Amino acid sequence: MEVLRITDSEFAQTIQSNKKVVIKFDASWCGTCRLISPKFKKLASDERFQDVAFFELNAEQNPEARKFAGVNNLPFFATIEDGNIKSTTFTGKIERVEELIADLA
């Protein structure tokens, strides 16, 4: 599955129209965000997670989504189920992200 980049204007509809969602919050200046991005995209193609929708969002440019998820550091990941936050983490370790997604799937 493809990882789509969304903004505040699409955020509410995105989390309501997808049952299971994982969002990577990032910023252009965040080196760790850039390093983990290809690994995050690889997880989106993992067969185990085919029913999970993957998104990326610039935390600096999208304050509404950032506030909703409680983003306090980057890279920040949030899993959302049925429009509600299920879990969040600030991490540069893809293994931790994979655990969150596996718990959602």
User: Which of the residues 6, 33, 69, 100 is marked catalytic?
Assistant: 33
Cα distance between residue 76 and residue 67, in whole Å: 12
Per-residue CA distances from 96 to 14, 61, 64, 77, 89 (Å) = 23, 25, 25, 10, 8
User: Which of the residues 3, 6, 21, 30 is marked catalytic?
Assistant: 30
Cα distance between residue 86 and residue 20, in whole Å: 10
First-residue to last-residue Cα distance in the chain:
14
Whether 30 sits among the annotated catalytic residues: the reply is: yes
Whether 51 sits among the annotated catalytic residues: the reply is: no
Active site residues: 30, 33
